[in-house]
C-alpha cells in the first residue's frame, strides 16, 4: 500500500468515526473541525492530506514547523489557502517565529506569553510577514499540573480579559488536554462549564479545542468544535 493510500484510508476512518460521534451527540458534524496533527511528519505527508481535501494542520515544534511550512508553500500547485495551528506548548522565545506562520495558537497560558505574542504579531504585520491579528485559545489546566501547561480555570477569566485588550491578538476560545489517567467525560465536562463561563463575557470566543485520537467521542459529547488527531491518521512517528 502506498503512503497516499495508507493516509487516505486512515483519514476516511477518522472522518467516519467523527461523523458517528456527532450523530450520537445530536450535533451537526459541520460544527466540529478535524485538525490533522502533522508534527514529526514530513511536508510530503501534509501534501497528501492537502490533496485529500484537508486545509488545516496542527504543528507543535519550532523550527520544524517553520521549515516544513516553507517547503509546503514552495510547491507551485498549492493554491488554496491553508491554516496552520500551533497546538503545543509555546516558549516566549519562539513567539517571534511562530507569529510569522501561525493562524491560531492553541496553548496561550500566561500574560507574559500573551504579551510576547502581541509584540511578535505586531512586528510580523509591520514587516509584511502576516496581514492580520493572531487568533489564540487559552489552554486551561484541568489538573493544576504546571508541567503540562495551562492556566488554572479560576485564573482564566483575567487572562481572557487581558488578551481581549491586546492590539494584535483575538481571543478564540479554550483548549485543554484531560489529566493523565482521568475519565475523559469528567474532564471535558469541566471544560465545557469553563467554556460556557467564558462565553458569557466573551461571546465570540466560540472555539473549544478538545479531543484527540483516544477520546474524541467524549470531547464531542461535551461541545468540542475542534478535535486534534495525529496517530489515527498518520500513524506513529517513524
- CATH code for the domain of 119: 3.20.20.10
Residue ranges in the chain assigned as alpha helix (H): 3-24, 43-51, 64-73, 95-98, 111-126, 156-164, 184-201, 216-221, 231-234
Q: What is the pTM of this model?
A: 0.96
Q: Residue 23 pLDDT > 70, yes or no?
A: yes
Tell me the residue range of the domain where 128 lies: 3-234
Instruction: Quote the pLDDT of residue 236.
Output: 84
With beta carbons less than 8 A apart as the criterion, state whether 162 and 171 touch. no
Question: What's the pLDDT tens digit per position in 119-169?
Answer: 999 999 999 999 999 999 999 999 877 677 899 999 999 999 999 999 999
Cβ partners under 8 Å of residue 145, min gap 6? 179
Judge contact between 35 and 228, C-beta under 8 A. yes
Which residues does 110 contact at the CB level (< 8 Å), separation at least 6?
151, 159
Cβ-contact 229, 38 below 8 angstroms: no
Whether residue 86 contacts residue 98, with contact meaning beta carbons closer than 8 Å, is answered with yes
Number of compact structural domains in the chain: 1
pLDDT (0 to 100) of residue 181: 87
Sign for the pseudo-dihedral over CA of 150, 57, 37, 127: negative
pLDDT in tens, 39-76: 999 999 999 999 999 999 999 999 999 999 999 999 99
Amino acid at each position: 500500500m502506498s503512503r497516499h493510500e495508507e493516509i487516505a484510508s486512515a483519514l476516511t476512518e477518522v472522518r467516519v468515526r467523527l461523523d458517528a460521534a456527532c450523530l450520537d451527540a445530536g450535533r451537526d458534524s459541520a460544527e466540529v473541525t478535524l485538525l490533522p496533527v502533522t508534527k514529526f511528519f514530513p511536508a510530503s505527508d501534509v501534501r497528501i492530506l492537502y490533496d485529500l481535501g484537508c486545509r488545516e494542520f496542527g504543528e507543535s515544534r519550532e523550527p520544524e514547523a517553520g521549515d516544513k511550512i516553507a517547503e509546503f508553500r514552495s510547491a507551485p500547485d498549492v493554491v488554496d489557502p491553508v491554516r496552520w495551528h500551533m497546538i503545543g506548548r509555546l516558549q516566549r522565545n519562539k513567539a517571534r517565529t511562530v507569529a510569522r506562520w501561525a493562524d491560531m495558537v492553541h496553548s496561550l497560558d500566561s500574560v507574559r506569553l500573551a504579551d510576547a505574542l502581541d509584540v511578535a504579531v505586531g512586528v510580523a504585520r509591520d514587516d509584511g510577514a502576516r496581514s492580520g491579528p493572531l487568533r489564540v485559545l487559552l489552554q486551561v489546566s484541568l489538573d493544576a499540573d504546571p508541567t503540562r501547561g495551562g492556566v488554572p480555570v479560576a485564573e482564566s477569566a483575567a487572562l481572557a480579559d487581558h488578551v481581549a485588550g491586546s492590539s494584535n491578538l483575538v481571543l478564540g476560545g479554550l483548549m485543554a488536554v484531560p489529566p493523565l489517567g482521568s475519565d475523559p467525560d469528567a474532564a471535558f465536562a469541566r471544560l465545557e462549564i469553563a467554556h460556557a463561563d467564558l462565553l458569557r463575557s466573551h461571546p465570540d470566543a466560540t472555539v473549544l479545542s478538545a479531543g484527540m485520537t483516544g477520546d474524541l467521542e467524549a470531547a464531542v459529547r461535551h461541545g468540542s468544535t475542534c478535535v486534534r488527531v495525529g496517530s489515527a491518521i498518520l500513524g506513529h512517528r517513524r
